[in-house]
Amino acid sequence: MTIFEKIIARQTPAKIIWEDDDAIAFHDVNPQAPVHVLIVPKRVVPRLTEATDSDSALLGKLLLVARDIAKKLDLSSGYRVVINSGPDAGESVPHLHVHLLGKRALAWPPG
């Protein structure tokens, strides 16, 4: 069971800021920006590479939730949405999730 599954099951505490039947969003415990929120589907998809065409509605929903949370947290000067897929990309939890980062200037290219 990943840390995200434990958060979803309320076995591990998290600062949850949004939730519905399909996904949950909470503040990252190791933030890389003043605002660093993780948006996690409740159904386990290990990584974007393993998503299927049947996951398209869920994938779209994750991006729309990122948009809505960015608005809620007043990230009007800009924000970044990141999905890491695989160890070389920095994926540390094998459960698809979206990072929403903001409230500071973010360099490009990342990494």
**In this structure, what CATH number is given to the domain that contains residue 52?**
3.30.428.10
Q: Can you give the pLDDT at residue 72?
A: 97
Q: What is the mean pLDDT of the chain?
A: 96
- SS3 label, residue 94: coil
Question: Is the residue at 7 inside a domain?
Answer: yes
Residue 111 has pLDDT above 80, yes or no: no
Q: What percent of the chain has pLDDT over 90?
A: 95
Question: Is the residue at 33 inside a domain?
Answer: yes
Buried b / exposed e over 73-98, threshold 16 CB at 10 Å, is: bebeeebbebbbeeeeeebeeebbbb
Question: Is the residue at 24 inside a domain?
Answer: yes
Domain count, the chain: 1
How far apart CA 97 and CA 99 sit, in angstroms, is 7
Active site residues: 97
Question: Is the residue at 108 inside a domain?
Answer: no
Strands 23-27 and 35-41: antiparallel
Host domain of residue 77 = 3-102
User: 57-80: per-residue pLDDT in tens?
Assistant: 999 999 999 999 999 999 999 999
Confidence (pTM): 0.95
How far apart CA 50 and CA 10 sit, in angstroms, is 26
Question: Is the residue at 62 inside a domain?
Answer: yes
Output the six-digit token pair for 96.
């698809």
Q: Can you give the pLDDT at residue 20?
A: 98
Q: Can you give the pLDDT at residue 109?
A: 87
Question: Is the residue at 111 inside a domain?
Answer: no
Question: Is the residue at 110 inside a domain?
Answer: no
Centroid of chain to Cα 20: 14
User: 8-48: per-residue pLDDT in tens?
Assistant: 999 999 999 999 999 999 999 999 999 999 999 999 999 99
Question: Is the residue at 14 inside a domain?
Answer: yes
Q: Can you give the pLDDT at residue 62?
A: 98
